[in-house]
Structure 1
Amino acid sequence: MIGLITTLVSGGIGLFRQRQDRRAKEQERKDRISEAKTTSTIRRIEQGDTNAAKLDELSIAQRGWKDEYLLVITTVPLVLSFVPDYAQYVALGFEALNTIPEYYWYGLGMVYIDTFGFRRMVRVAVERWIEQRFGSG
């Protein structure tokens, strides 16, 4: 009788240990998969940042008249808003800008990003927006 109880208890202990081992191995696999995903994501981000940085460097190296043009176009309204005779025209201009379609603003943003080499900055901003919007993967 005692032998039977001992056999049942040791068998139960053996099953419990097997279950614990199986759970530990399963958790270890999940941890390795998670680590591999994280490593892959880091590599992808680093590679993307490197590519964006190279494109930004190329854009900066090829700067020309369009940079000065965009700088003037961007700063003139700011300066003129402090000149009393022209402030009203600046205000009217900004009111008119409220009627411009949204797609135009995206296009203009892309021109500025390309001209001034802001790809890395935009990439990080978009990734953060996606992470906030949809949660981290």
Structure 2
Amino acid sequence: MFTLLTALVTGGFSAFNAVRKNKADEIKQDGVLKAAISEAKAKRVAQGDTNAAKLDEISLNGRGWKDEYLLLLTTAPLILCFIPDYANYVSLGFDSLDKVPEYYWYGLAMVYIDTFGFRRMLRTAMEQWVNKRAVL
């Protein structure tokens, strides 16, 4: 009887220790997995920044007349606002821009990002926006 009782207690302790060890191993594996995921994300971000920087560099090296054209087009309304005869036309133009479809603005933004080499800046802004959205 005493032997049976000792065997049950010893078996119970063995089972308890095995469960505890399995839990500890599971927690350790979870930590290793999270560290690997974090490292992979960091590598992906670094690689993406490198690729965006290379594309920006190619864009900047190939600058041509379109850069000057876009700069003139962007600053012309600002300059015309200070000329009394043209300020009214600028105001009417901006009123008309309220009716432009949203997809056009996205397309225009892509043209500016490509022309002026803002890929890295856009990537950073998008990551921050996504992170803010993920927290909410």
Q: TM-score, normalised by structure 2?
A: 0.89
Distance between the aligned counterparts of 2:90 and 2:6, measured in 1?
Answer: 93
Aligned-partner SS, 2:88: helix
Per the alignment, residue 26 of structure 1 pairs with 26
Per the alignment, residue 40 of structure 1 pairs with 40
Per the alignment, residue 106 of structure 1 pairs with 106
What letter matches 2:31 in structure 1?
D
Taking only aligned residues, the RMSD between alpha carbons, in angstroms, comes to 1.7
Distance between the aligned counterparts of 2:127 and 2:37, measured in 1?
Answer: 17
Aligned-partner SS, 1:63: coil
Q: Deviations over 1:76-114 (max 9, x none)?
A: 111211222221111100001111111111111111000
Per the alignment, residue 62 of structure 1 pairs with 62
Distance between the aligned counterparts of 2:72 and 2:62, measured in 1?
Answer: 18
Identity %: 55
Per the alignment, residue 71 of structure 2 pairs with 71
Per the alignment, residue 16 of structure 1 pairs with 16
Per the alignment, residue 82 of structure 2 pairs with 82
Matched, 1:91 2:91: yes
Q: Deviations over 1:20-66 (max 9, x none)?
A: 10001011111111111111111111111101100000101111111
Aligned-partner SS, 2:42: helix
Runs of 4+ in 1 over 6 A off after TM superposition: none
Shift of residue 3, structure 1, vs aligned partner: 5.2
What letter matches 2:105 in structure 1?
W
Per the alignment, residue 119 of structure 2 pairs with 119
Distance between the aligned counterparts of 1:10 and 1:49, measured in 2?
Answer: 58
Shift of residue 132, structure 1, vs aligned partner: 3.2
What letter matches 1:109 in structure 2?
A
What letter matches 1:12 in structure 2?
G
What runs of 5+ residues in structure 1 fail to find an aligned partner?
Answer: none
- Count of paired positions: 135
